[in-house]
Structure 1
Amino acid sequence: MTRNADLFARARHRLPGGVNSPVRAFRSVGGEPFFTARAEGPYLWDVDGQRYIDYVGSWGPMIAGHNHPAIREAVARAIGNGLSFGTPCEAEVTMAETICRLVPSVEVVRMVNSGTEATMSAIRVARGATGRSRIVKFEGCYHGHGDAFLVKAGSGALTFGLPDSPGVPKPLADLTLTLPFNDFEAATTLFERHGDEIAGLIVEPVVGNANCILPRDGYLQHLRELCTRYGTILIFDEVMTGFRVALGGAQERFGIRPDLTTFGKVIGGGMPVGAYGGRRDLMEQVAPAGPIYQAGTLSGNPVAMAAGLASLALVQEPGFHARLEAKTIALTDGLQAAADEAGLPFSTTRIGGMFGLYFNRDHVDSYAKAMASDAAMFKRFFHGMLARGVYLAPSAFEAGFMSIAHADADISATIDAARETMREIG
């Protein structure tokens, strides 16, 4: 038995499904997960010594590559002074100032410990500030495992959601409305019917949990206009896109100013972290400045702040995002060419350091099109690539992440592996 197999057997005895986050279990693609022993730059090594070119990047934080020396050294310096104080520290002030400088819509920010905490808190602010109860989310968008977000659409875009997970009460799910992403008319109709009931609309400006779906021209502007007209708080979930698709996030890239924004991943450099922030008049309603309560024992802890500040320093280097996007373009163009050679139905999406892969001849710009892709073929592709030392997200419906550490040789090796795999499965 390999060490990977032995560890998974042990894990299944003590962890639900053998993992601490569901997608890691490989249920979507079949087989058993590997256990990572160490990581460096664009690579992972499992406990059996196999090296993988990694396009998951800890699900987004590793924009500079794994174990970057500047981040590692910043963490080591912080640890030398203690792990957590339970009091304010200078690093959290510097982090707040940095986020507000890089993202102009954010005037005041609160640090938390995960993206889920950030999105749950942003929704609470929207409800508290407006006095309304309903929220709007989108098919294919994931905002963490908060009860309000674990809702799926009914038979139509305007159907009130039903709980998508046991443990979510239906009365709470009834407060969540769902819309198809990129559908202008559905959004307009929903607001015409329910606009005066909606506290907040939360959206991933680039959908990263239906693989990678970009907004149609003018769509985010349309949502901004509807929210302004009906007094609804527009929340951009930039946990994935923040500092990855542009220095100022998707809102900079698309020229939109949301009312609130949530962050995670890149701002922690690999440490557990999240943040939410936005307009001063909204954020000053958060305790202790105002009556909307939210707290966290480890929020703004010095180790996470040190890692995040080092990560943000790296992405501010001149030309960082241009170089990152060029790598993403080279990879997706090469994968498309390999699929065309093999005669496979295949398309890609990309923006900044994010990309999507679909076994689908059509350009995917909606959740319905994403779901129409050939998931069975993706499973075969995933395992063929894994056997050739390339680790992609173990799901047909998760975005891929590029890092600045991926060299031309890594991208070429990935394309070569894809060419072999696609010929094999074609």
Structure 2
Amino acid sequence: MSVVGPINVQNTAGARIQLSSGEWCDDYIMGWGSCLLGHDSPVIKHSISKALERGFLQQYETDEHRLLSEKFCAVVPCAEKLRLVNSGLEATMYATRIARAVTGKRIIIKFEGHFHGLNDSLTWNVDSSPRSGEVLAGGELERLSGTVGIPNEFGSLTVAVSWNDLQAVEHAFEKYKDDVAGVILEPVALNLGCIKPDEGFLQELRALTTRHGALLIFDEVLTGFRANIGGAQKDFAVTPDIAAFGKAFGCGMPIAGIAGKAEYMDVIAPRGPVQISGTNTGRYLSVSAALAAIDHLQDGAVHRHVAALESQLKSGLRDVFDKHRIPCHIDGYGGRIGVHIGTSERPRTMKEIEGFYPIDFAQKLFYLLSCEYNLYGFLMPLGYCPEPVTLSAAHTAEMIADACERLDSALKRIPFHGK
């Protein structure tokens, strides 16, 4: 069996996938975090079945659209209004468009390693960039595109700095005075392997953006609805001006949203001049699923279950790595757990991770876990850091214990070596 590289999946159930070979694997990717309720959640399946009785209702608004907006805005702190889109990429792209329209400014500040979708203005200094950017004066980073096909001119409108580097943000505001439209960030840097902000960092960003007349934009595509019904902004008690949501918003169905303060959201047409639309935007099937998901998550039972599994897995992983005397920093948020092999200290930036993460060892371990231990996506390495292990409501305590046992067995077969 091989679950490394291109694979064909013929079936899914709960937190497991079945390969075309017929073998079943425990899934620790879960739709890159979108399948919070599992691959075949009865909640989502029932909502879709009921919706189909009324047709596809493409491009029509319904009572469910209104209810979804009302319930979303009731639980997300920044959300006075909600506009639906199809993907996280669209949500972050439109969020920056709103920031530029509201402020009349051009520059967007982002953080190295934070991924906001493959749109032209934000795909800079990410994991697919050819190398880590050089640190320039004041902490600004050399602009490096994450893909070919984006003209360098787009980079002139995006300023990248290191995560948790407040001085670099302050310097950028001074250097590009009166031209910074907004700051966009993952409130928890899950694309860096789950690196949380320094104490007070988000609060300082809130104060800086307010002082300079720029918008604070939270990319909650990965964090939204994972740990609680209100997003990371609720956990950290910092309210952004605009936030982008996706992934667990639809629990497997394609939907995303831009939410924010009414004064900023009202620049969107038809009230304002900012164009945001699409043929598949706000499709009834996806709206029905998202509404059912919010209703199901309201009582907190799912989040408590996932939090308990996260705690169990973090503890089990620490025990296994300690047993094999492998340095490892482990942290999690909303059932997504970053395992930073190679250090016992909490990393703060992408460059720190690049300096210690033993990519060769991590790749060998991942290959073994995938091909011989039936763990799909468990401890997956990216180019410079770990992809978080993703849990769902469909995982069980028995699955977590079993995964730790399989990891222990695999580590007996691969000698650890650092970078």
Query: Same fold per TM (> 0.5)?
Result: yes
Alignment match of 2:381 (pick from 360, 382, 395):
395
Distance between the aligned counterparts of 1:299 and 1:165, measured in 2? 26
**Structure-to-structure mapping, 1:61-100, within 5 angstroms:** 61-100=34-73
Distance between the aligned counterparts of 2:348 and 2:368, measured in 1? 27
Segments of 5+ residues of structure 1 without an aligned counterpart are 5-25
The answer as to 2:164 corresponding to 1:182 is yes
Q: Could you tell me which residue of structure 2 aligns to residue 289 of structure 1?
A: 271
The answer as to 2:346 corresponding to 1:363 is yes
Alignment match of 1:321 (pick from 300, 303, 309):
303
The answer as to 2:30 corresponding to 1:57 is yes
The answer as to 2:285 corresponding to 1:299 is no
Aligned sequence identity (%): 32
Q: Could you tell me which residue of structure 1 aligns to residue 401 of structure 2?
A: 412
Q: Could you tell me which residue of structure 2 aligns to residue 374 of structure 1?
A: 358
Alignment match of 2:218 (pick from 227, 232, 236):
236
Instruction: Report the Cα offset of residue 190 of structure 1.
Output: 1.8
- Structure 1 residues 226 and 91, CA, compared in 2 at 3 Å: closer, same or farther? same
Instruction: Report the Cα offset of residue 66 of structure 1.
Output: 1.5
Distance between the aligned counterparts of 2:300 and 2:167, measured in 1? 41
Instruction: Report the Cα offset of residue 402 of structure 1.
Output: 1.2
The aligned amino acid for 1:421 is: A
2:194 counterpart SS class: coil
The answer as to 2:176 corresponding to 1:194 is yes
The aligned amino acid for 1:188 is: E
Instruction: Report the Cα offset of residue 208 of structure 1.
Output: 1.6
Instruction: Report the Cα offset of residue 401 of structure 1.
Output: 1.6
2:178 counterpart SS class: helix
- What is the number of equivalent residue pairs in this alignment? 399
TM normalised by structure 2 equals 0.91
2:176 counterpart SS class: helix
Q: Could you tell me which residue of structure 2 aligns to residue 154 of structure 1?
A: 133
**Structure-to-structure mapping, 1:3-22, within 5 angstroms:** none
The answer as to 2:294 corresponding to 1:343 is no
- Structure 1 residues 69 and 225, CA, compared in 2 at 3 Å: closer, same or farther? same
Instruction: Report the Cα offset of residue 114 of structure 1.
Output: 0.5
Distance between the aligned counterparts of 2:411 and 2:196, measured in 1? 25
The aligned amino acid for 1:379 is: Q
The superposition leaves residues 234-280 of structure 1 with CA deviations (integer Å, 9 ceiling, x where unpaired) of 00000010011222110001000000000001111211111001010
Distance between the aligned counterparts of 2:304 and 2:347, measured in 1? 24
The superposition leaves residues 113-162 of structure 1 with CA deviations (integer Å, 9 ceiling, x where unpaired) of 00001000001000011000110111010000000111127311314524
The answer as to 2:5 corresponding to 1:32 is yes
The answer as to 2:96 corresponding to 1:135 is no
Q: Could you tell me which residue of structure 2 aligns to residue 423 of structure 1?
A: 412
Question: Which has more helix, going by share of residues?
Answer: 1
**Structure-to-structure mapping, 1:261-276, within 5 angstroms:** 261-276=243-258
Instruction: Report the Cα offset of residue 368 of structure 1.
Output: 1.6
Segments of 5+ residues of structure 2 without an aligned counterpart are 126-131
Instruction: Report the Cα offset of residue 420 of structure 1.
Output: 0.7
Q: Quick check: 1:42–1:66 contact (8 Å CA) kept in 2?
A: yes
Instruction: Report the Cα offset of residue 390 of structure 1.
Output: 1.1
Q: Quick check: 1:359–1:377 contact (8 Å CA) kept in 2?
A: no
Q: Quick check: 2:77–2:233 contact (8 Å CA) kept in 1?
A: no
Q: Quick check: 1:195–1:232 contact (8 Å CA) kept in 2?
A: no
Q: Quick check: 1:245–1:354 contact (8 Å CA) kept in 2?
A: no
Distance between the aligned counterparts of 2:411 and 2:315, measured in 1? 15
Distance between the aligned counterparts of 2:86 and 2:120, measured in 1? 18
Distance between the aligned counterparts of 1:378 and 1:105, measured in 2? 39
The superposition leaves residues 296-325 of structure 1 with CA deviations (integer Å, 9 ceiling, x where unpaired) of 111111100111122222222244323211
Q: Quick check: 1:64–1:314 contact (8 Å CA) kept in 2?
A: no
Question: Does 331-340 or 306-315 show the bigger shift?
Answer: 306-315
2:337 counterpart SS class: strand
Alignment match of 1:383 (pick from 367, 378, 399):
367
Q: Quick check: 1:134–1:199 contact (8 Å CA) kept in 2?
A: yes
Distance between the aligned counterparts of 1:364 and 1:44, measured in 2? 33
Distance between the aligned counterparts of 2:359 and 2:177, measured in 1? 37
Distance between the aligned counterparts of 2:311 and 2:177, measured in 1? 40
Alignment match of 1:126 (pick from 99, 103, 125):
99
Distance between the aligned counterparts of 1:349 and 1:318, measured in 2? 21
Distance between the aligned counterparts of 2:63 and 2:411, measured in 1? 52
1:163 counterpart SS class: coil
The aligned amino acid for 1:46 is: L
Instruction: Report the Cα offset of residue 192 of structure 1.
Output: 2.3
